[in-house]
């Protein structure tokens, strides 16, 4: 993800239902841009994690983001690596989320991350179906996927 992607992703995030769960963004695109250098340094350089922009191959259009970060789910007592994804409304249910998430899961495997978890709004049936298709299993309020055997 680059600074140039942020205004497009932030605008996408403002679409109805996009901010309900999953990828979280600041109150304004300007705040996102201001915070991005420290995010990039911490996530990409120190943690070797972060979010990547999802680009439609045939047009070069930004259609979403996917990635993983150190995550914490205090209610469940979990500290681990949380995966998130956001695909723009006009690109949903066309396989882009599955393809992008598969690549992100492979990147997690290459980094020897043992397990990913994600949080999905109970009402987001499409996202739950995607998580199932990717091999995540629902455990309480979280969805988990083992990447490397324990």
- Model confidence pLDDT, tens digit, residues 25-71: 777 788 888 988 888 888 888 888 989 999 999 999 999 999 998 87
Structural domain containing residue 81: 3-146
Q: In the prediction, which pLDDT does 19 show?
A: 64
**146 or 73, which is more confident:** 146
Q: In the prediction, which pLDDT does 10 show?
A: 86
Of the chain, the percentage scoring pLDDT greater than 90 comes to 51
- Rounded-to-integer distance, Cα 52 and Cα 40, Å: 11
Q: What is the mean pLDDT of the chain?
A: 87
Number of domains in the chain: 1
Q: In the prediction, which pLDDT does 73 show?
A: 58
CATH number at residue 25: 3.40.630.30
Question: Quick one: tokens of 86?
Answer: 């956001």
Token look-up 């949080």 returns 119
- Terminus-to-terminus CA distance in the chain, angstroms? 31
Q: In the prediction, which pLDDT does 124 show?
A: 86
Q: In the prediction, which pLDDT does 81 show?
A: 92
């Amino acid at each position: 993800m680059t600074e140039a992607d942020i205004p497009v992703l932030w605008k996408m995030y403002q679409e109805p239902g996009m901010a309900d769960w999953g990828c979280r963004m600041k109150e304004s695109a300007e705040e996102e841009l201001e915070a991005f250098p420290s995010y990039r340094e911490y996530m990409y350089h120190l943690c070797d994690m972060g979010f990547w922009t999802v680009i439609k191959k045939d047009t070069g259009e930004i259609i979403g983001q996917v990635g993983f970060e150190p995550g914490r789910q205090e209610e469940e007592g979990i500290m681990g690596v949380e995966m998130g994804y956001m695909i723009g409304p006009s690109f949903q249910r066309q396989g882009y989320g599955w393809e992008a998430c598969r690549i992100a899961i492979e990147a997690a495997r290459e980094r020897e991350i043992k397990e990913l978890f994600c949080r999905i709004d109970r009402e987001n049936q499409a996202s739950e179906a995607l998580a199932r298709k990717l091999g995540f299993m629902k455990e309480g309020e979280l969805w988990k996927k083992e990447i490397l055997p324990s």
